[in-house]
Structure 1
Amino acid sequence: MRPILDNRTARHLFLDRHLLLRPSTGSGRGDDLQGVLNDLGFVQVDSVNTLARAHDLILWSRRGRYRPKALSRLVSHDRSAFEHWTHDASVIPMRFYPMWRLKFARDEARMRQRWPAWQGEGWDAEVHKVLDHVAAHGPASSLDVGGDEPKGSSGWWEWHPSKTALEFLWRSGKLAICHRSDFRKYYDLAERVIPADVLSTHHEDAEIIDWAMMAALERLGFATSGELAAFFAIVTPAEAKDWCAAALAAGRVIAVDVEMADGSRRRSVTTEAILAQAQNLPEPANRVRLLSPFDPALRDRNRAYRLFGFHFRIEIFVPEAQRTYGYYVFPVMQGDRVIGRLDVKRDGRTLAVRAFWPEPGVMMGKGRVAGLSAELDRVRHLAGADDVVFAPDWVRP
């Protein structure tokens, strides 16, 4: 008979693996920040900056003393992290770089298959031209190559040809992001960015698949084969299914029924060691936490709904008249429960709280309001604000 992981224990295990169960400690820089990045596996990078950028808020949620320059230093100075793609653009521990070679190869094959239809014949000549420019002149941004070129109507995001070439070379591993300036990416040859010992390390595809699956399971605690494949987005769904079958047969993982928020059960895999740890976790900290919309604990919207009963989407691309909530709202968690979503924006040196929508059954008593106010007072230091101002009708039905 398969073991059952009740919903409360499953939430605690999941949050602990995402560094959200216990009180946060640590400097949020240097080796401590590197440890957070290793434990999470990656942190998604996003340009929207209504309060703080997604990656900064994700790391601040785990380390209240974190400041953005610390992550930039890991990438551009220490070279202990690199930027590339998981499910989206992310900062990833440098020691994982050899595992990304499989992703480079697969991404390049997909692009070469699709791009002739998108970019027209001869698009690869622009790739060679841009690569030669970077080799000869050093780090370059999209402004340094083809800035006067007209944008295409069929390329990625209507980029000009040289920008598209930069992206191709980065996604295929020929170039690496060496630093950012005002959030603009600068690319250089991979051999001038990636440490030599890392660059010279190679693994067989089967080794990479095995690593990606087990590393994902360690960071999720329990998962389906599809969830494991989606974590780093290196492994295909079919490969993930085959890996789970083989790992179950070999006794490396076990099957477990995980109780969802609605009482249903979802079959997943875990390990005996993780299951044992789940029974001895501490109670979650009662702190009210402001999370990024791209927080790794909630980025899989379907899983967040199944596990926490929290239905979340970002309404950036929804017409204003059709929005249920604000343009860009932040999930708010307390303990092991998502208690609502907050519309807050930095306005000069002020954090302007426009609305908070509690989840069904969540009462906004004095204690919870005080907890949310305290969290906003903490995050204003990250946002560079001096005070927090609440709209008169900020608590919404």
Structure 2
Amino acid sequence: MTRPVLGNRDARRLFLDRHALAEAPQGPARGADLLDLIRRLGFVQIDSINTLARAHDLILFSRRQRFRPADLKRLYEDDRALFEHWTHDAAMIPMAFYPHWHLRFRRDAERLKERWRSWQRNGFEARFEPVLRHIRDHGPVCSADLGEGETKGSGGWWDWHPSKTALEYLWRSGALTVIGRDGFQKRYDLTERAIEAHLHPGPASPDLEHSIDWFCTAALDRLGFATSGEIAA
């Protein structure tokens, strides 16, 4: 069988098409239309850097010039059509993809605990139950609402107090959900309250093989062409 060859010209066209950059940046950019665009892209990376505008706003504006940041905020925080988690970085992801993130939650729960014990400090796990109990009793929180009197680390970007570390771990492992941001601070709530019940793990949830197949297919569909390493990333 002859191995297929993709020339540079066709590769460039395919790349632009899959990233929604081949057409004029026109058309509606709010509500269901904005969600359709994000589903086509797969996710929108979130970035705190704000030179001209936030990265996620620039990504969407470059594809739909009617886009306004308030429309993304409404889709995310009010309509709950998106959830926030990690792809290769922090991202807003269509809620329809949430069942496949159960695999990511389980894997993050296993691998981050050991890494964060060395990155952060021993004892951050002791904050899991107090943090969950506080949110259960008092509602959503930002990291600034917790950790009074706790010692912060001295690790630059990782300068977190134990309660902040607990919040991030519980979010990455699926017990908490980010429901919005105050400024650029995450606002966390219990997943059982923030995510509709039919999306929680259950008998109808995709199994390991199904989710891995879905992730690989979704990545290749949106990249157009890729190495195995790029798909895995």
Is the pair's TM-score, using the shorter chain for normalization, greater than 0.5? yes
1:204 alignment counterpart: 207
- 1:221 is displaced (CA, Å) by 1.1
User: Cα RMSD over matched residues?
Assistant: 1.5
Identity of matched residues, %: 57
Q: Which amino acid aligns with 2:229?
A: G
- Larger-gyration structure (1/2): 1
**Separation (CA, whole Å) in 1 of partners of 2:151 and 2:227:** 45
1:32/1:228 CA distance change after superposition, 3 Å: same
> 5+ residue gaps in structure 2?
none
- 1:183 is displaced (CA, Å) by 2.1
1:14 and 2:10 matched: no
**Separation (CA, whole Å) in 2 of partners of 1:156 and 1:181:** 19
1:144 alignment counterpart: 145
Please state whether the residue corresponding to 1:62 is helix, strand or coil. coil
**Separation (CA, whole Å) in 2 of partners of 1:28 and 1:178:** 22
Give the TM-score normalised by the residue count of structure 2: 0.94
- 1:213 is displaced (CA, Å) by 0.5
**Separation (CA, whole Å) in 2 of partners of 1:121 and 1:185:** 24
Report if aligned partners of 1:118, 1:155 keep a CA contact under 8 Å in 2.
no
* Aligned pairs, number: 230
1:369 alignment counterpart: none
Deviations 1:169-218 (A, max 9, x none): 10001000111122221000011111222225511110000000111111
1:225 and 2:228 matched: yes
Report if aligned partners of 1:79, 1:195 keep a CA contact under 8 Å in 2.
no
Please state whether the residue corresponding to 2:122 is helix, strand or coil. coil
2:219 alignment counterpart: 216
1:173 alignment counterpart: 174
Paired residues for 1:1-397 under 5 Å: 1-153=2-154, 157-200=158-201, 201-230=204-233
- 1:63 is displaced (CA, Å) by 0.5
- 1:21 is displaced (CA, Å) by 0.7
Whichever structure has more helix as a proportion of its residues is: 2
1:37/1:129 CA distance change after superposition, 3 Å: same
Show structure 1 runs of 4+ deviating over 4 A: none
1:156/1:38 CA distance change after superposition, 3 Å: same
> 5+ residue gaps in structure 1?
231-397
Q: Which amino acid aligns with 1:227?
A: E
Please state whether the residue corresponding to 2:143 is helix, strand or coil. coil
**Separation (CA, whole Å) in 1 of partners of 2:231 and 2:83:** 22
